[in-house]
Chain A
């Protein structure tokens, strides 16, 4: 399949070749259609979740920005947006700093109990969210952290750290340790070595880990549902309530905005990946 079929391919092979591409096309359609379909629907002038006859006729009157206006003016959604953009960065910074340090520590040659430590550090990604949420709910209540900004930030940071560990460790695997030795032998102290040599090389991993941590927090709903109170209501929380209770098309407007955000994130990551590969000489760039 890597090259067009050879001229002697049988009809069966030819049919299969095209059938396979059609099948793949359908699967890609399945992957992408649900995400794209909500974008036109979010411009629906009616309070419905389906295409009205007017929309199908491309009648301009059947489209409107009213759900977007609602999103940007409704205090509930604004509060949720505000909470999301204040909680996620704080959780991201905490997760990224702690996670990067730990990943560097883990990449050293002699770490006792390495696999046990790794298992513990990765666990927030593996434990089902409902269990994490329930545990934190009871425990944080006791510490007076339930329903507080700090409580939600701590919880989200804990959930985000495994991603930082994984991405930073991945960049460290290809990291040429002699560079650190070279720097040290030339008289650089460890701190200088870290910032001048190590940091620039693992930066792509750190940033993509941070993005993962960010999206983990930004997208998280189960833990915040249990751990938060009304003043920590985030966008996913508001969407969850909306979907379960008053399902308003504003949700689709919010969803479209979030799709735009994820496209932006995706491109940032792709740029980072290319940069990282270029830096490490894995691809000609």
Chain B
């Protein structure tokens, strides 16, 4: 901006180099001005950038790191891990006495510090029975004499210690980083033979991811079906009436998510307003009340309502810019109403559909509150599962792995959105 003060009169000196007022060559002067401008804009951006990175991105990166971090085995039973390194799991033989002795010493310390049950829980994610094994052994190991043979002693406590697979699992999960959580997150497990799918009745996450995607898609579609006519109507009405009707779209948009979720809870219950009304007009009888809550129907209805404004707003802003002369031209050339709409008008709204659909879809797949309150067990999303693993099952590594996958999915969609709409062109209200 400082270059604005340059005056052209004395700019050209005898050597033919264009100079600024202070005698520096204009090129350099401009470059300096540009640098200063860059610096200024950077200084304006820096505080927020630092704030977002520290308060938001670092926490997320830190959490995602948990999906591969696996120091617990090494930290809890260090000596065992070390001695186990030389044991070959494929040999078909149990580890030797040195390993059992190391385990004895490790467990003495671990039990004293009361950390052995956590290791059991950790290993239980990979092989069932490990949690119980460590708890049981922890209870007994303090009473064990410090004299060997430890192998027999341990097997006496629990015969699972004679199971080679138990040792193979400990060895397999000794390294400080593990793919285990990610495998779990896609219903697979690491066995001696490599990566395998889990038995049918233990698979959850692929189903859940799939369900999350399908339900988000259904929500997006219903938003589109309901949003398109509204966008069309608003863009074809005179500005004054359109603005009035726009309030009906914006009011839900500005109303608290929880208010809207409570409203749907009130409406959809079996003893709720909708069922009462249907019974009252004799459409259904009292015993045949519809079940619309605590299942997928509830989630889809409530979320369609909540996300509908996010579909209408971009559709409306695109439709507003479409000149009515195209459709008129088509009609004057003999196109029927339908043809004019479908062949001429509709294609021009596709950018709006794309923007709205991706926005709704991105928002939908990460939803937590509404499915939690109206979704029951069949209407829940992957987010609810992540919350479950954080606060109830305490399998934070798995929560992080599921979160990473979800985040990648959202980022991919966001990339597409950026290509279609551009982040700069997001409009609000």
Contacts and interface: CB of A to CB of B under 8 A. Distances in A.
Q: Are A and B a genuine interacting pair, yes or no?
A: yes
Interface string B244-281: 01011111101111111111111101011100100000
Interface stretch (A29-37, A57-65, A70-78): A29-37
Interface of B: 1, 4-5, 34, 37-38, 40-45, 47-49, 51-53, 55-64, 66, 226, 229-230, 232-233, 236-238, 243, 245, 247-252, 254-267, 269, 271-273, 276, 305, 308-309, 324, 337, 362, 365-369, 372-373, 383, 386-387, 390, 396, 399-400, 403, 406-407, 410-411, 414, 418, 423-424, 426-429
Most buried by A among B45, B252, B373: B45
A262 B396 CA distance: 37
Interface string A114-145: 01011111111011111110111111100000
Most buried by B among A30, A130, A138: A130
Interface string A22-63: 011001101110110110010000000111000000000000
Contacts of A243: 258, 261-262, 265, 373
Most buried by A among B48, B407, B426: B48
A221 B67 CA distance: 25
A105 B387 contact: no
A266 to B, nearest CB: 5
Contacts of A137: 390
Interface string A139-155: 11000000000000011
A220 to B, nearest CB: 9
Contact of A102 (B47, B62, B232): B47
Nearest to A94: B51
A106 interface: yes
B251 A222 contact: no
Contacts of A219: 256-258
Helix, strand, loop or mixed for chain A's interface?
helix
A34 B362 contact: no
Contacts of B308: 31
Given A108-B41, A115-B423, A120 B305 contact: no
Interface of A: 1-2, 13, 16, 20-21, 23-24, 27-28, 30-32, 34-35, 37-38, 41, 49-51, 98-99, 101-102, 104-106, 108-112, 115, 117-124, 126-132, 134-140, 154-155, 157-158, 161, 163, 165-167, 169-170, 173, 180-181, 184-185, 208, 212, 215, 218-219, 221-222, 226, 236, 239-240, 243-244, 247, 251-252, 255, 258-259, 262-263, 265-266, 269-270, 273
A13 B337 contact: yes
Nearest to B362: A126
A169 B396 CA distance: 38
Contacts of A218: 256
Given A166-B426, A180-B1, A244-B372, A49 B272 contact: yes
A243 B373 CA distance: 7
B255 A126 contact: no
A109 B35 CA distance: 12
A109 B308 CA distance: 36
